[in-house]
A = this chain, B = another copy of it.
Amino acid sequence: MIADRGLAGLKTRDLAREIGCANGAVYNLVADVDELILRVGSRTLHRLDQALSAVESGEPSPQATLVRIALAYCDFAAENLELWRALFEHRMDPDKPLPDWSIDDQLQLFRHVYQPLAALFPQRSREELGITARSLFSAVHGMVALGLEQKLVAVPLPALRKEIAGLVRAMIDGLIARAA
């Protein structure tokens, strides 16, 4: 339901009707809609993880791998738009903290960026690499997020991919030049 109606289109009554039970029965499977959304998010993150892993195989240069990962992220977001958006649009009540399994899911993502980065900058510490990996990931995420937004001018997907590839290469080149 999230996939084709968006997070806002998820209603417990519709959901109950679709799976064939009374609306109250939803709460035997799940404590909250919050938990429901988190569990859907967990599946989405795992599929995203697989999509990113699929492009890491046998690549010559770490640079090329990073570009391919960024493009794979973009493609996944475009092909799973609503599910991907649900990962970031959803906000918990400030007092209810995220369960640990959900936090773990999210941290796994940076791993994909971390490894090629570690190959590029072997002299850097684990912390430095972790921070840079997060920054790089965030930058690409921002480009995808605003690029796929309908709010402003919609960017055609091929143009967005080209921009992402260009800017990722520029970022890596710049990082290498600064390290030298």
Q: Which residues of A contact B (CB under 8 A)?
A: 6, 8, 89, 91, 98, 103, 106-107, 131-132, 134-143, 145-147, 151-152, 155, 159, 163-164, 166-167, 169-175, 177-178
19 A-B pairs besides A135-B143, A135-B167, A139-B140 with CB distance below 8 A are A8-B91, A89-B91, A103-B152, A131-B163, A135-B166, A138-B147, A139-B143, A139-B167, A140-B142, A141-B145, A142-B142, A142-B143, A142-B145, A142-B146, A166-B178, A170-B170, A173-B174, A173-B177, A177-B177
- A sample of 27 inter-chain contacts (CB < 8 A) reads A8-B91, A89-B89, A98-B151, A103-B152, A131-B159, A131-B163, A132-B163, A134-B146, A135-B166, A136-B167, A138-B142, A138-B143, A139-B139, A139-B143, A141-B146, A142-B142, A142-B146, A145-B145, A166-B178, A169-B174, A170-B177, A170-B178, A171-B171, A171-B174, A172-B174, A173-B178, A174-B174
